[in-house]
Structure 1
Amino acid sequence: MKNLKSIALALVVVLSTTAVFAQTKNINTTTSTIEWVGKKVTGQHNGTVNLKDGALIFKGKKLTGGIFTVDMTSLTATDLTGEYQGKLNGHLKADDFFGTEKFPTAKLIFKKIVTKSANVYSVTADLTIKGITKPITFDLTVNGNTATTAFNVDRTKYDIKYGSKSFFESIGDKAIYDEFELKITLKF
């Protein structure tokens, strides 16, 4: 009987030390940031957009998943003030850009994660903007309770064609580049 208890105890210890359970770490939407840059032939604009919610999933210290919702209604330019900021914000939220009245959120769902090096992962995710979902791949670095990434998004893949030279050849110096840049810092 004593031997059976010892074996049972040993089995419990082995299982508890080798089993790694998934841990969901919710994103702090107040301290996390998404910064954007949109460029045109004659300059650029930059700003921010807020996370509505999100989480990273780990098994032990290894990243295994993630899901995020972006509040597109919070989209704002930070390089302008007053009337010009209001005009740009209104235009970015209009149907010819992000259509935030009809599409108030965007989503990012991790689909495949490959470890590149210590704390650096190659992530392939589904990005949904304006109800259109396309795959995107980027590197994500995780240090402590912070994850960071920067990548470009081709807006034309999400039916955002306004001012695109790809669709309006004679637009000249009023052209807006198809890709916009995102720089993301996640705190959890």
Structure 2
Amino acid sequence: MTINLDENAALLIVDVQQAIDQPFWSEHGPRNNPDAEKVMGSVLEHWREKARPIFHVRHDGQSEGGNYYIGGKTHGFKAEVTPLAGEQVIGKTVNSAFISTDLEARLKDQGIHQLVVMGVITNNSVEATVRNAGNLGFDTYLVEDACFTFAFPDYAGTLRSAQVVHDMSLANMDGEYCQVIKSTDIL
């Protein structure tokens, strides 16, 4: 499937920071989509070639010593998605990129109605951001192979694989808040 995007469709890259590589995240098992950063890099390169708007979302943790602590060793962006000069960076302190930030205002000021989202963690900051984007009326696409998550126990305590957690999160969002796509749909 090919997606028709506006010339000013924005790429939103959520929380792809060095913090995501810390052992804490994989304590229950390995992540899914081991090539997600490579895919993200390809999508980002494509966006840059098309000169479309890019927004890098960075989690600015407030707890000293935390994985995402602002100014900490693992706070920086991963190499595959490091912003270039002129690319917009949105700092956030909660899971959604729209809460207590100026992201919505920036998008509206630039006449942006379509968002393509990728990043981490699928069932946390990515899902929260996508749900808000959909609720705010943005035409939102989520690139499923440019996102990943980790194995995690469900509410009853049953351990679920990263792929199952990822797939359930996609199912929660697709059709109501966004359209789930693959990177090949836009590259």
TM-score (norm 2): 0.24
Larger helix percent:
2
Larger strand percent:
1
Task: Identify which of structures 1 and 2 has the higher relative contact order when contacts are C-alpha pairs closer than 8 Å and 6+ apart.
Answer: 2
Structure (1 or 2) with the larger CA radius of gyration: 1
